[in-house]
Amino acid sequence: MKIAIIGGSGKMGRWFANFLVKEGREVIITGRNQRKLLEAKQQLGNVEVATNVEAVKRADVIVVSTPIDGFEEVIKQICLYTRPEQIIIDITSIKKLPVEVMHKHIKKGVILGTHPMFGPGARDIANQNFVLTPTNKNEKALAQKVREYLETRDARVTLITPHQHDEMMSVILGLSHFIAIVSADTLVSLDKLKLMRAISGSTYKLWLTLVESVIAEDPESCASLQMNLPDGGKVKKLFQGKLETWADLVENKDRQKFVQRMKNLRNKLEKDDPDLPKAYENMYKLIAEL
Ligand SMILES: NC(=O)c1ccc[n+]([C@@H]2O[C@H](COP(=O)([O-])OP(=O)(O)OC[C@H]3O[C@@H](n4cnc5c(N)ncnc54)[C@H](OP(=O)(O)O)[C@@H]3O)[C@@H](O)[C@H]2O)c1
């Protein structure tokens, strides 16, 4: 089985190319910048390089690993060359728009929206989360096969609709990135980073690690994600409201309400996740290692 990775010279494309070559698959990678594409080939070893159209003509499975911006252009370019027996999978971090775009343009082949919930730094597929977003009978049958393939390799797979996926990602990626970026902005404005690092305890170190890991990501991809997640504005408004509520409690020195509200939150979180006490333990271990 030959697999074409459109955008195979990029970070995630290379990750999947490397994974698939190790799995013994024949892989073709594409990319716009020829120097970057050849460098990727050199790094990966046993892969072919081609143009998008050539790759689609030669492959059985097509994985689209290009950025959200420009996704439709890529699909428009390749849609004329897909065949009925082909599988076309995208891995973009949002799902509603890319799945709609694939439905709109790809008339031959079965499409499937997927989202690997890890970055190019991941060592292996085992224990990683994958979201699959099939929308009809053919896509559900394909998703079942992909699920079996991934689960055999110890990955964790969840099937939801593209809409549910994007709703969840507004929080999982959208809000968490947003808080990290605003935190970085706050820390930099305070202009005391060196001293804070020197005298900080484990909670600050953990927080800073999180903030720095988001800030190290590609600003263009982060911007795309923030601008394309559908419920992002609603979630951030909710967050802003909560921020004001807690700031008021502190400002007004309303100790009793602060404590009660925090206790309620802890109870709700524990009720929702019975493993929370274990999660605390793991976090303490992680903090001790920092
Ligand atoms: N990074 C993550 O942590 C992560 C995790 C899960 C999912 N994703 C998703 O994976 C996708 C790729 O992300 P990435 O981080 O790998 O981005 P990236 O490093 O910027 O790679 C994107 C690749 O797409 C290529 N490309 C862009 N337009 C193209 C076109 N018209 N034809 C052929 N190739 C084209 C780029 O080639 P040139 O550089 O030559 O233009 C580059 O090789 C995105 O949709 C992202 O949302 C990312």
Closest atom of ligand 1 to 225 CA is: 47
Asked if residues 5 and 65 have their Cβ atoms less than 8 Å apart, the reply is: yes
Query: pLDDT tens-digit profile of 229-270?
Result: 987 788 999 999 999 999 999 999 999 999 999 999 999 998
How confident is the prediction for the chain on average, in pLDDT? 95
Closest atom of ligand 1 to 92 CA is: 45
The phi, psi pair for 210, rounded to 5°, reads -65, -45
pLDDT of residue 231: 77
Query: pLDDT tens-digit profile of 20-72?
Result: 999 999 999 999 999 999 999 999 999 999 999 999 999 999 999 999 999 99
**Closest Cα to atom 25 of ligand 1:** 7
Contacts of 33 (CB under 8 A, 6+ apart): 9
- The best mutation among 5, 6, 9, 56 to test binding of ligand 1, ranked by most ligand atoms within 8 Å of the C-beta, falls on 9
Tokens of residue 59, six digits = 């492959």
The pTM score is 0.93
- The best mutation among 14, 28, 32 to test binding of ligand 1, ranked by most ligand atoms within 8 Å of the C-beta, falls on 32
- Residues with beta carbon inside 6 Å of ligand 1? 6-7, 9-13, 30-33, 36, 52, 65-68, 70, 73-74, 91-93, 116, 119-120, 221
User: What is the CA(20)–ligand 1 centre distance, in A?
Assistant: 17
19: exposed, middle or buried (C-beta count within 10 Å: 0-12, 13-18, 19+)?
middle
Tokens of residue 229, six digits = 């997640």
Range name among 107-111, 249-253, 263-267, 272-276 with the lowest pLDDT average: 272-276
Find residue 64's DSSP bridge partners: 6, 90
Contacts of 66 (CB under 8 A, 6+ apart): 6, 7, 10, 74, 92
Find residue 87's DSSP bridge partners: 61, 110
Q: How would residue 290 be classed by pLDDT, with cut points 50, 70 and 90?
A: low
